[in-house]
Amino acid sequence: MRIGEIAALVGVTPRAVRHYHRMGLLPEPARRANGYREYGIRDAVLLARIRRLAELGLGLDEVGDVIADDEGRELVEVLEELDADLERQERVIRERRARLAGLLAQAREGRLAAEGPVSPELAALLADLGGPGAPGIPADSPMAAKDREILTLLDTVVPEEERARLMELMRGAAGHAPAIYARLDALAGAAPDDPLVTEAAAALAAALPDAAGVEVPEGGLADLFFGDLAPAQAAAVRLALRLVAERAR
């Protein structure tokens, strides 16, 4: 058989056959006088085995290990590993579908936040922090919109245990959100040393629950957050965090 014939017989492409030769999975067959490869039944059997193993999900390096072990012990081990990996993938898919089911339910009931999909905890919090129908918070509050944006980002990038702590802090302040957003919005054009900065910081600190270990963050996400605020707004938030930290000591 020529390369095109064996490829068609086994159900692969000639290009794949050549690739298996280069990787050492399929030995080079004898050549005819005209230089063409001449494949036999043993080559076809081996090529079919390579295809079956690859279809099971084994990488070509793993296929080579299996083929090299004539007694098949390696095959059992590799297939067990593959089975365990498929089980893990199934578990991940089940978890994702469970989360998707919750999001679908929210979307069908009109409760899915515009920033979604987000975690159920954040969806509930966003509904209180400037979401549609949130009591006392103007729909056009710039600070409320910024707060929602940064919380949505944190919901994705912050580790789960830290995210839970953050949600707890924000949940404690949610009832004071209208007054706090109003104070921070008023600082948009103010100077960092404006007396309103101290007043806004005190109001924000009073709304936040005691939390030992709270420090003014620097770098990374903190730079993104504070960089998006007006200078007076950033000064007020930083001062509020310091006040909370001092209160917890």
Q: Is 77 helix (H, G, I), strand (E, B) or coil?
A: helix
Distance CA 148, CA 153 (A): 9
Distance CA 240, CA 112 (A): 31
Higher-pLDDT residue of 151 and 34 is: 34
What pairs with residue 31 in β-bridges?
37
Question: How high is the pLDDT of residue 111?
Answer: 62
Q: What is the mean pLDDT of residues 125-132?
A: 59
In this structure, what token pair is assigned to residue 229?
Answer: 């605020």
Quickly state the pLDDT bin for 3 (edges 50, 70, 90).
very high
Measuring CA to CA, how many Å separate 45 from each of 31, 53, 168?
Answer: 19, 12, 63
Query: What percentage of residues in the chain have a pLDDT greater than 70?
Result: 78
- CA angle centred on 43, ends 39 and 48, rounded to 5°: 125
Quickly state the pLDDT bin for 132 (edges 50, 70, 90).
very low
pLDDT at residue 169 tops 50: yes
Q: What is the tens place of the pLDDT at every residue in 44-57?
A: 888 988 998 888 88
Q: What is the tens place of the pLDDT at every residue in 79-89?
A: 777 677 778 88
Higher-pLDDT residue of 19 and 101 is: 19
Distance CA 38, CA 241 (A): 77
What pairs with residue 37 in β-bridges?
31
Q: What is the mean pLDDT of residues 116-133?
A: 62
Question: How high is the pLDDT of residue 115?
Answer: 55
Q: What is the tens place of the pLDDT at every residue in 170-189?
A: 776 677 777 888 899 999 99
Centre a 10 Å sphere on the Cβ of residue 65 and count the other Cβ atoms it contains: 15
Long-range contacts, stretch 38-43, CB < 8 angstroms, 24+ apart = 38/1, 38/2, 39/1, 39/2, 39/3, 39/5, 39/6, 40/1, 43/1, 43/6
Round to the nearest angstrom and report the end-to-end CA distance of the chain.
83
Distance CA 35, CA 88 (A): 48
In this structure, what token pair is assigned to residue 146?
Answer: 């910024």
Q: How many CA atoms lie within 13 A of 190 on its CB side?
A: 20
pLDDT at residue 203 tops 50: yes
Q: What is the tens place of the pLDDT at every residue in 214-232?
A: 454 555 667 777 888 899 9
Quickly state the pLDDT bin for 152 (edges 50, 70, 90).
confident
User: Exposed, middle or buried by CB within 10 Å (0-12, 13-18, 19+), for 181?
Assistant: buried
Asked whether the beta carbons of 216 and 238 are under 8 A apart, the reply is yes
Q: Whole-number mean pLDDT of the chain?
A: 79
Lowest mean pLDDT among 32-46, 56-70, 153-167: 153-167
Quickly state the pLDDT bin for 133 (edges 50, 70, 90).
very low
Question: How high is the pLDDT of residue 77?
Answer: 74
In this structure, what token pair is assigned to residue 220?
Answer: 């990374």
